[in-house]
Amino acid sequence: MKVLEEIADGVRQGDSSLVRDLIQKALRQALAAERILEGGLIPGMDEVGVKFKKNEIFIPEVIIASRAMKSGIEALRPHFGPLGLPLRGKVIMATVKGDLHDIGKKIVCLMLEAAALEVVDLGVDIPKEQLVRAVRTEKPDVVGLSALLTSTMTYMGEVVTAAGAAGLRRKIKIIVGGAPVTASYAEEIEADGFAPDAASAVTLVKSLLSGKKG
């Protein structure tokens, strides 16, 4: 679909206002928010990733593309939920200490909110002490950790250990995700689950909540 390709191109060019305008155009064409996200914004950012890896573009271009991506996510936010459904559970989300990547995490937050879950997004570069404090004050059902670097992924294990040491491990489910994270790594650090993408994160949280509450 032409408008989706144009949105992907807008992200690649890092043109935030173009991306926002094109999203409005796509919405006027009655395209669903999920389709715009999955068929326009994400492919655009994926291509930025490929070019970055091949050294065809550099950090400044990636930052500008990231801003356009985030502004697209914000433009879509009102068109996802929570559709007036009662809240079904509470999730704290964080990108772990040392890691500044938050585009994927924001998409996970958006999809969880659209599934009528309450989401508290702590942000990026979050140390385990802050997470423990947040679990005590927010009393979430689930804690979702995101990491995009192989060097920061290991910090997820430290968060699981810290939650245990604080006596909170049985009160929450901890799930992990992000490009370098795998199901076997989640198992290794004794997390309660792994999701490869935002849609799977919603399915995982729902299944953990029904197990926990049922």
Stretch that binds ligand B1M, among 7-15, 128-136, 160-168, 192-200 (CB under 6 A): 192-200
Paired tokens of 96: 């772990």
Does position 71 interact with ligand B1M (CB under 6 A)? The reply is no
List, as one string, the DSSP characters of 164-213. Answer: HHTT-TTT-EEEEESTT--HHHHHHTT-SEE-SSHHHHHHHHHHHHHHHH
Closer to ligand B1M by Cβ: residue 33 or 176: 176
- Listed in sequence order, the DSSP H helices in the chain are 2-13, 16-28, 33-36, 42-53, 59-76, 103-114, 128-138, 150-153, 155-165, 183-188, 198-213
Show the site string, 127-166: x = touches ligand B1M by CB under 6 A, - = not. -----------------xxx-xxxx---------------
Does position 62 interact with ligand B1M (CB under 6 A)? The reply is yes
Residue ranges that bind ligand B1M, judged by CB under 6 A:
42, 45, 48-49, 52-53, 59, 62-63, 66, 98-105, 107-108, 144-146, 148-151, 175-180, 195, 197-198, 201
